[in-house]
Amino acid sequence: MIRPTVRLLAGAALGAVAARAAYRALERRPPGLNGLPGEEVWGRTNHRGEPVTLLEGPAFVAGAAAGGLLLPGHGGRLRAAALVAGVGSGVLGGYDDLAGSGDSRGFKGHLGALARGEVTSGAVKILGIGATGLAAAAIAGSPAPTRTGRAFDLAVNGAIVAGGANLMNLFDLRPGRAIKVGLLAGAPLALTSSSPVVAAPLGAAAALLPEDLAERAMLGDTGANALGALLGLAATRLGRGPRLAVLAGLAGLNAASEFVSFTKVIKQTPALDWVDMLGRRPPAVPAAPDPDPVPGPVPGSGTFADPAP
């Protein structure tokens, strides 16, 4: 019998090693798409206007999946549920990463477009992650099932997985932010019976954090959706009361994101801003105009003009 602490550390190590190996392999040979080179397919421009790669997302999904499959000591149903939640959400997030236009944003934007008959990549992802959450919840089952509440538990657990996937994606707007949120949220879960589910994802996320903080790579929807879904699946191992509290929190934060900028709230809260900036490069400061510029040559004169009075 493997002790919980040893199992947690082993799972984190497996996830970390697998994620780093996957990232190195993808970085050497980034997969292309429809004849486009991999660098162009996965390359993006970050908030500084600098190039960044989305390959961190697929590397996280691969690391979390491999670590979860290799980690001994937990049942086949939970392994299968983690595979469905992580890989399923990651694939749907990857579809939005590569096919999304950004014209519609948030639940309101995507579902509003769907009501008008326009199927956006975000709407496909929202509906797909909802189905993935229910599938993962059904495979994992409830830790304390009751005959009268089985359907209720399935609905709650599926909503937690899907809500976690969407919420984590909302934090992937600044370097390292989504991973920090994931590590902070996953640490308490790692101390419960959920440790087999979160061990490999937390190790994979921590191993990729340096790339994220250095602004060389980002999780994108692929990695953020997968990380959130796996943390959500871990939360479904809690008792009914805590699960309902988690669902209420996820629903509230997802709803609030339609009206409130998380980035602005974090920036205006000193403790949150300190954590958010930990390990990051200082924000870019626009160059101030020179109050007394050196006079330049007068066009056509070949001489310098006198400074204006």
Domain boundaries, the chain: 55-277
Half-sphere exposure of 1 (CA within 13 A, CB side): 2
pLDDT-derived band at 136 (thresholds 50, 70, 90) equals: very high
Q: What is the pLDDT of residues 278-299, one digit of tens each?
A: 999 887 665 555 555 544 444 4
Task: Please give the Cα distance from 156 to 140 (Å, whole number).
Answer: 13
Residue 244: is its pLDDT beyond 80? yes
Of 225, 52, 261, 33, give the one whose Cα is nearest residue 124. 225
Region 145-165: what's the mean pLDDT?
86
pLDDT at 296: 45
Task: Convert the pLDDT of each residue in 57-114 to its tens digit.
Answer: 999 999 999 998 888 767 788 899 999 999 999 999 999 888 875 554 555 555 665 5
Residues 207-223 have a mean pLDDT of: 95
Phi/psi for 113 (5° steps) reads -65, -40
Query: Distance (Å, rounded) from C-alpha 217 to C-alpha 172?
Result: 11
The string of pLDDT tens digits covering residues 161-198 is 999 999 999 999 899 999 999 999 999 998 887 777 89
Residue 295, C-beta contacts closer than 8 angstroms, at least 6 positions apart: 304, 305, 306, 307
| pLDDT at 302 (0 to 100) | 38
pLDDT value of residue 113? 59
304 bridge partner residues: 297
The reported pLDDT for the residue numbered 47 is 75
What pLDDT does residue 107 have?
56
Give the pLDDT score at 111: 60
C-beta atoms surrounding 60 within 10 Å: 34
Predicted local distance difference test score (pLDDT) of residue 292? 53
- Please provide the distance, in angstroms rounded to a whole number, between the alpha carbons at the two ends of the chain: 85
- Mean pLDDT across 215-237: 95
pLDDT recorded at residue 86: 96
**Two tokens, residue 88:** 């399923």
Give the model confidence (pLDDT) of 29-62 as tens digits.
Answer: 999 888 888 888 999 888 788 899 999 999 999 9
Tokens of 205: 């996320």
